[in-house]
């Protein structure tokens, strides 16, 4: 056709944007020069430190998130995630014009070269694992990939030839190749047959779909950070676990990750192995914690001090008995076993040990509450009050004031996701206590508390929900939480609690759900009674 000429789009040719000869060369320099930008999707506990690490490496970083609050904070160089070094990196990035906050995820993709997906992948945790069976568990334990698919679609719409996409959350094996890849290949493409008519108008002829390994690259790399030291973990502590859908993806991914992971890159031979690797880390922890819980219960019943026994056993180099406790929380360990159990059922096999581990750990909050209530019973007997034995209709916990130490899912962090404290609150609600006071040195407010059917709004806020008269309070003042309480239950192993002194506890019966307190310091304290996980009533 004489009256048309081919319109030259930026990434028109089948060669990628670096040219054929040196397609992956000088990536480090191009990233530092800002020629190739990094985009981070999801600015939470994982995305924030990842963005910070790339900023610290001198890169130009674009961030985007669906939460307007998160974006507003980022524009001011702040994050809601209390992760050392992140705010500093954001502020420096803003000062040097290397940090951009986008509301439009498609534009973030259009303007970037390397896109990292850091959004959450969760499961429905509302039903205990022991109530799932067969077909039911298929839907209940399945991963919720809504955020991943949303972000992948946005990235695909802005994807250009030569771009690289990495999925970072922990996901069921198969997610990258069976969910993410098809979305990109169905959506992404370029108008390389765009034409310009003689009158200057452009006409779209067809969209050429992108093919992975030829037009773009796809990686899976699980994030392995420990909250509270995420930057250090990425930069210094761990090698990156890396997989690509093909050798070219793996090659370019390896060059990229080597820029920030000083310990280098462990290249996996398949994406599914890398996806499974992260889940195995969590399941190993979950099952071992379950074993510790079982042995702790055994010790309680037999009158053996679990903690002393554990320390002695672990002096043997092949023995690594974990710590028992009132529950396993956080957005990782409680979730990963469910992913594996779900897939195992689909491929018609049993993962009984994984399942039993989860059942054991999910039973711990209720178990520990039952144990702790024995202290109330004992207190009531001593005081000869009307509240009598656990077995009688008038439960000793009825009307009691309970203090829970910690709502963070583990010590040293303010993250409350899937904290066992919520399950403990539920248990005490069933026992019709009158008041539950939660103390946490790191958590100022927690909207999840209202999800328990209780109104939260600071200390001493009456619950106005029907059918319950429980008052729930959250405070950072220990004396306020403890004065006048009937029972204290330690749930989170915050370092601050290790140094609790007898006078801090006002003689209130104390249940140690983490084996944290050195109770020998309390022996001479008048009538103080304490038990805890691994230290049953027989060990007092
Ligand atoms: N937290 C950890 O320590 C940790 C460690 C290793 C792996 N992981 C994995 O990383 C994943 C993410 O964890 P996290 O702790 O960062 O979660 P998070 O909840 O702290 O942060 C996720 C962020 O993504 C944003 N988001 C959610 N949906 C979005 C969407 N559709 N589009 C754009 N943004 C969206 C949220 O607003 C939030 O800011 C987890 O699901 C887990 O698999 C977490």
Q: Are 185 and 211 in contact (CB under 8 A)?
A: yes
Secondary structure E strands in 451-524: 471-475, 487-490, 510-512
Give the pLDDT confidence score for residue 19 in this predicted structure: 42
Q: Are 337 and 354 in contact (CB under 8 A)?
A: yes
Q: Give which of 118, 102, 98 is closest to 54, Cα–Cα.
A: 98
Q: Give which of 81, 174, 66 is closest to 117, Cα–Cα.
A: 66
444 CA → ligand 1 middle, Å: 21
CA pair distance 529, 526, nearest whole angstrom? 9
Q: Are 191 and 204 in contact (CB under 8 A)?
A: yes
Task: For 341-372, write each residue's pLDDT tens digit.
Answer: 999 999 999 999 999 999 999 999 999 999 99
Residue owning the nearest CA to atom 27 of ligand 1: 119
Give the pLDDT confidence score for residue 204 in this predicted structure: 64
Nearest 10 degrees: CA dihedral of 408, 411, 414, 420?
Answer: -10
Q: Give which of 258, 250, 178, 183 is closest to 218, Cα–Cα.
A: 250
C-alpha 262 chain-centroid distance = 24
For residue 47 and ligand 1, the question of a CB distance below 6 A is answered with yes
Q: Give which of 163, 152, 146, 149 is closest to 210, Cα–Cα.
A: 163
Residue owning the nearest CA to atom 13 of ligand 1: 120
For residue 411 and ligand 1, the question of a CB distance below 6 A is answered with no
Strand order in the sheet with 4-6: 4-6, 195-197, 202-203
Three-state SS for 504?
helix
323 CA → ligand 1 middle, Å: 27
Q: Give which of 125, 173, 182, 123 is closest to 149, Cα–Cα.
A: 182
Mutate to test the pocket of ligand 1, among 41, 46, 115 (most ligand atoms within 8 A of CB): 46
For residue 227 and ligand 1, the question of a CB distance below 6 A is answered with yes
For residue 121 and ligand 1, the question of a CB distance below 6 A is answered with yes
Give the pLDDT confidence score for residue 215 in this predicted structure: 96
Q: For 188-224, what is the HEC assignment? A: CEECCCCEEECCCCEECCCCEECCECCCEEEEECCCC
For residue 294 and ligand 1, the question of a CB distance below 6 A is answered with no
339 CA → ligand 1 middle, Å: 17
Give the pLDDT confidence score for residue 495 in this predicted structure: 95
For residue 332 and ligand 1, the question of a CB distance below 6 A is answered with yes
Residue 507 falls in which region: left (phi positive, over 0), alpha (psi -120 to 50) or beta: left
CA pair distance 80, 64, nearest whole angstrom? 14
Give the pLDDT confidence score for residue 389 in this predicted structure: 44
Sign of dihedral through CA atoms 531, 534, 536, 540? Answer: negative
Give the pLDDT confidence score for residue 23 in this predicted structure: 61
Residue owning the nearest CA to atom 12 of ligand 1: 120
CA pair distance 254, 243, nearest whole angstrom? 9
Give the pLDDT confidence score for residue 378 in this predicted structure: 77
Atom of ligand 1 nearest to the CA of 46: 16
154 CA → ligand 1 middle, Å: 17
Q: Are 105 and 64 in contact (CB under 8 A)?
A: yes
Q: Which two tokens stand for residue 1?
A: 């056709």
CA pair distance 431, 427, nearest whole angstrom? 7
Mutate to test the pocket of ligand 1, among 47, 66, 119 (most ligand atoms within 8 A of CB): 119
For residue 230 and ligand 1, the question of a CB distance below 6 A is answered with no
| Distances 327 to 99, 272, 304, 418 between C-alpha atoms, Å | 39, 30, 21, 10
For residue 120 and ligand 1, the question of a CB distance below 6 A is answered with yes
For residue 282 and ligand 1, the question of a CB distance below 6 A is answered with no
Tens place of pLDDT per residue across the chain (540 aa): 333 322 223 323 334 444 444 567 789 999 999 999 999 999 999 999 999 999 999 999 999 999 999 999 999 999 988 899 999 999 999 999 999 999 999 999 999 999 999 999 988 766 666 655 544 444 466 899 999 999 999 999 999 999 999 999 999 999 999 999 999 999 998 766 666 777 777 776 667 899 999 999 999 999 999 989 999 999 999 999 999 999 999 999 999 999 999 999 999 999 999 999 999 999 999 999 999 999 999 999 999 999 999 999 999 999 999 999 999 999 999 999 999 999 999 999 999 999 999 999 999 999 999 999 998 887 777 776 554 444 445 788 889 999 999 999 999 999 999 999 999 999 999 999 999 999 999 999 888 886 665 554 444 444 444 445 789 999 999 999 999 999 999 999 999 999 898 888 888 999 999 999 887 776 666 566 788 899 876 444
Residue owning the nearest CA to atom 9 of ligand 1: 169
CA pair distance 172, 143, nearest whole angstrom? 7
Q: Are 383 and 376 in contact (CB under 8 A)?
A: no
44 CA → ligand 1 middle, Å: 5
Q: Give which of 143, 61, 472, 157 is closest to 335, Cα–Cα.
A: 143
Residue owning the nearest CA to atom 14 of ligand 1: 45
Q: Are 205 and 195 in contact (CB under 8 A)?
A: yes
Atom of ligand 1 nearest to the CA of 224: 6
């Amino acid at each position: 056709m004489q009256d048309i000429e081919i319109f030259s789009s930026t990434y028109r040719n089948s060669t990628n944007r670096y040219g054929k000869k040196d397609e992956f060369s000088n990536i480090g320099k191009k990233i530092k020069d800002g020629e190739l930008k990094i985009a981070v999707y999801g600015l939470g506990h994982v995305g924030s430190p990842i963005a910070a690490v790339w900023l610290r490496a001198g890169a130009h970083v674009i961030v985007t998130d669906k939460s307007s609050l998160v974006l507003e904070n980022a524009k001011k160089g702040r994050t809601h995630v209390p992760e050392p070094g992140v705010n500093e990196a954001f502020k420096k990035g803003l000062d040097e014009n290397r940090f951009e906050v986008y509301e439009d995820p498609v534009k973030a993709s259009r303007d970037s070269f390397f896109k990292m997906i850091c959004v959450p992948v969760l499961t429905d945790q509302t039903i205990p694992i022991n109530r799932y069976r067969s077909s039911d568990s298929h839907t209940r334990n399945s991963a919720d990939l809504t955020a991943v698919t949303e972000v992948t679609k946005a990235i695909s719409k802005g994807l250009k030839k030569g771009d690289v996409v990495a999925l970072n959350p922990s996901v069921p094996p198969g997610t990258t190749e069976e969910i993410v890849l098809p979305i990109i290949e169905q959506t992404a493409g370029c108008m390389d047959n765009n034409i310009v008519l003689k009158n200057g108008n452009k006409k779209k002829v067809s969209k050429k779909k992108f093919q992975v390994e030829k037009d773009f690259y796809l990686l899976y790399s699980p994030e392995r950070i420990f909250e509270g030291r995420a930057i250090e973990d990425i930069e210094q502590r761990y090698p990156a676990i890396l997989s690509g859908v093909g050798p070219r993806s793996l090659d370019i991914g390896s060059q990229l990750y080597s820029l920030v992971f000083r310990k280098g890159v462990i290249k996996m031979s398949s994406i599914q192995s890398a996806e499974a690797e992260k889940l195995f880390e969590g399941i190993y922890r979950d099952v071992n914690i379950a074993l510790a819980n079982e042995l702790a219960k055994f010790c309680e019943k037999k009158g053996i001090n679990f903690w002393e026994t554990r320390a002695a056993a672990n002096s043997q180099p092949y023995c690594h008995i974990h710590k028992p406790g009132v529950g396993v929380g956080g957005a990782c360990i409680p979730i990963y076993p469910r992913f594996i159990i779900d897939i195992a059922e689909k491929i018609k096999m049993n993962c009984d040990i994984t399942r039993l581990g989860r059942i054991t750990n999910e039973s711990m909050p209720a178990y520990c509450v039952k144990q702790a209530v024995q202290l109330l019973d004992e207190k009531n007997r001593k005081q000869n009050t009307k509240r009598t034995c656990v077995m009688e209709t008038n439960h000793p916990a009825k009307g009691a004031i309970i203090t829970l130490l910690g709502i963070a899912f583990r010590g040293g962090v303010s993250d409350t996701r899937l904290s066992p404290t919520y399950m403990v609150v539920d248990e005490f609600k069933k026992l019709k206590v009158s008041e539950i006071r939660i103390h946490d040195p790191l958590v100022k407010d927690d909207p999840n508390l209202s999800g328990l059917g209780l109104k939260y709004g600071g200390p001493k806020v009456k619950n106005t929900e029907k059918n319950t008269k429980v008052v729930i309070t959250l405070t950072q003042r220990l004396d306020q939480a403890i004065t006048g309480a009937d029972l204290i239950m330690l749930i989170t192993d915050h370092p601050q609690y290790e140094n609790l002194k007898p006078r801090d506890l006002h003689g209130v019966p104390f249940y140690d759900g983490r084996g944290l307190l050195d109770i020998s310091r309390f022996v001479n304290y008048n009538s103080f009674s304490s038990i805890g996980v691994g230290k049953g009533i027989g060990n007092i």
